[in-house]
A and B are shown apart, each in its own frame.
Chain A
Amino acid sequence: MTATAEPLLSVRDVTMTFPGRRGRSAPVRAVDGVSFHVAAGETLGLVGESGCGKSTTGRMIVRLLEPTAGSVTYDGRDISHLRQRELKPLRRELQMVFQDPHSSLNPRQTVARIIADPLLVQGSSAAEARKRAVELMELVGLIPEHIDRYPHEFSGGQAQRIGIARSLATGPRLIVADEPVSALDVSVQAQIVNLMERLQRELGLAYLFIAHDLSVVKRVCDRVAVMYLGRIVEVGDKGTVYGSPAHPYTRALLSAVPLPDPAAERTRERITLLGDPPSPAAPPPGCTFHPRCPKAQEICRSEAPLLRIASAGEAREVACHFPEAA
């Protein structure tokens, strides 16, 4: 799982600034200098609360958005500013799965059309594409006889399987999955998590798994990056980050998750943060977490900490002036 030579995906200092409305609102820097990599066949979890920039980051990687600054390198090639025509061959390799399965499927297209569409775009014949659609339905656990049905005839979990089948049609190597299970019923989430894990093993896929649910991410990822207000505050091996979180925000986030264990819930120590995450339109100076941080000092108010390895030899980087010792 460790990156040998060149990782499949490298993201360096990527920034996304959305322009404000003239005279009415200031520009919003939704993602501010984010760097990470994803190796072939591995899963990087990207977690954070609403508005932290995790979805914007995902959209820049599949180039639904063009980064304002920084670079996205896929398989050794800088793709950050490719034009539409140049992007087309890349879309074979880089695919996306969305949160709401029903709203990401065209209600007026049959499953056959939905799954085959990426292949038709890439130049397959109709017969080939349909044959492949049948195979893909089997692969994701759908009944191939349902190929001429419409999305509304499927449950949420089945619709998400259709979305996954579509993403696999062109044989991608990296899938950006943006909250792929959060709209599903609890009893169905596990089916989709297991499916994605099986597909990864069988097809050697790499995932960027974006989610707010820390328990789901812990299950699926090899490494995890925690975002807060447009920046990565901590990134590293799953065991290290979950086992001994170094950033005060990661610690608070983990301690806030309710455990399905009443006895543990009664005795557990929780770090309750004050206030809400600030707006990315007006980020606080210095470390953007300082207004909510229980450990904030003077330096935190003026100087933004850099993402760095805090203790030598550790498979984790943290952006904090006063990280927790492991």
Chain B
Amino acid sequence: MTADREQPLLSVEDLTVTFPTKRGPVRAVDSLSFTVHRGQTLGIVGESGSGKSVTSLAVMGLHTGAEVTGSIALDGRELTGLPERELGRLRGRRMAMIFQDPLSSLHPYYTVGEQIAEHHRVHFGSRRAAARKRAVEMLGEVGIPEPARRVGEYPHQFSGGMRQRVMIAMALACEPELLIADEPTTALDVTVQAQILELIARLQEERGLAVVMITHDLGVVARVARDVLVMYGGRAAEQAPVDALFAGPAHPYTRGLLDSLPRLDDTDDAPLRAIPGSPPSLLTPSPGCAFAPRCPRAAAASTDEQGRCEGTRPELVPSNGHLVACHLSLHTAAHARGGTR
């Protein structure tokens, strides 16, 4: 997506994740490819069931019981098929993850210091005192006041924003190169969200972290991401650099999402242009484009074209610096009309 010559830190190719269920196999992620470079942020946007969280868990090797195919390479090293012992050595050490709800990701019985220190002891074999010292340093680095005192406190003694800081401290204690953040600010108040996004940006700059930011919030993506991957029904709908995506989305779903958002910078009170229907169920995938039943362009298209949208899965193809999976891409239409939109 970007013209960087250096090898990407994370390179995912043709990732497919299938869960066995009573009602047959469910393909939660289907043929997904993306790369993330050091020091950069990829935003993955999608709604419930889009596969965005499943993707991140697959990268971390945290899917037990699912069939994961394709390739996930961290700094050139293939992760799929690695035995759990090997993966365990990479997790926390070279790649780490933070989640939406820090309270349920922290152990209630251990102090935050013990939980941060544990990583250090496991990965570096540090002694207790050294690991504890490291925990205090990390708490200070993520902006927790009086770290030397608070290191001995339990998760319930921290506020929501402070708990997310603890999670970040834990994730970054062993200096990983890749941070996956799955809706890290969704459970937080907006003023606290701003603090956490700033913290992640600062740590990223200081450490050259590659960040994958998974979110449903297009505002968060606009604030932090350099490149964006829009997912729908387990597949990539569109991929583009952030400015290009917001300025001229190629996929009708991306366009629809942007149009349906109420915005603080709106100047009129015209009704929102809602997308009809609901996100698709993965239990009954369509043979064609997953968005076709809700797509305004498919609805307005000729019967032939509609048949193609409903019957044939669109490939992800380059278009004006975007990658788009759509038979009726907005870019093609713009060229045909000679316009820009």
Complex interface residues of chain B between 234 and 248 (CB less than 8 A to chain A): 242-243, 246
| Assembly CA distance A155 to B48 (angstroms) | 11
| Assembly CA distance A263 to B194 (angstroms) | 17
Complex interface residues of chain A between 232 and 255 (CB less than 8 A to chain B): 242, 252-254
A191 at the interface (CB under 8 A from B): yes
| Assembly CA distance A49 to B195 (angstroms) | 15
Interface size range of chain B in the complex: 35 or more
Q: Would you list the 10 A-B pairs with minimal beta carbon distance, nearest first? A: A258-B219, A190-B274, A49-B189, A219-B262, A190-B260, A155-B278, A190-B272, A260-B218, A256-B194, A185-B47
Instruction: Please count how many residues in chain A sit with their CB below 8 Å of the partner chain's CB atoms.
Output: 42
A272 at the interface (CB under 8 A from B): yes
Complex interface residues of chain B between 200 and 248 (CB less than 8 A to chain A): 216-223, 225, 242-243, 246
Q: A197-B271, A215-B264, A242-B264 are in contact. Are A253 and B191 (CB under 8 A)?
A: yes
B136 at the interface (CB under 8 A from A): no
Q: A49-B189, A276-B161, A277-B189 are in contact. Are A262 and B246 (CB under 8 A)?
A: yes
Closest residue of B by beta carbon distance from A274: B195
B314 at the interface (CB under 8 A from A): no
Contact pattern, B 78-121, Cβ under 8 Å of A = 1, otherwise 0: 00000000000000000000000000000000000000000000
Q: Say yes or no: A256 contacts B190, CB within 8 Å.
A: yes
B4 at the interface (CB under 8 A from A): no
Q: Say yes or no: B274 contacts A276, CB within 8 Å.
A: no
A158 at the interface (CB under 8 A from B): yes
Q: A155-B278, A242-B264, A261-B246 are in contact. Are A276 and B159 (CB under 8 A)?
A: yes
Provide the residues of chain A in CB contact with B265, threshold 8 Å.
Answer: 259, 261, 264
How far, in Å, is A48 (CB) from chain B's closest CB? 9
Q: Say yes or no: A216 contacts B276, CB within 8 Å.
A: no
How far, in Å, is A236 (CB) from chain B's closest CB? 17
Q: Say yes or no: B262 contacts A216, CB within 8 Å.
A: yes
B192 at the interface (CB under 8 A from A): yes
Partner of B219, one of A187, A189, A259: A259
Q: A185-B47, A258-B217 are in contact. Are A215 and B189 (CB under 8 A)?
A: no
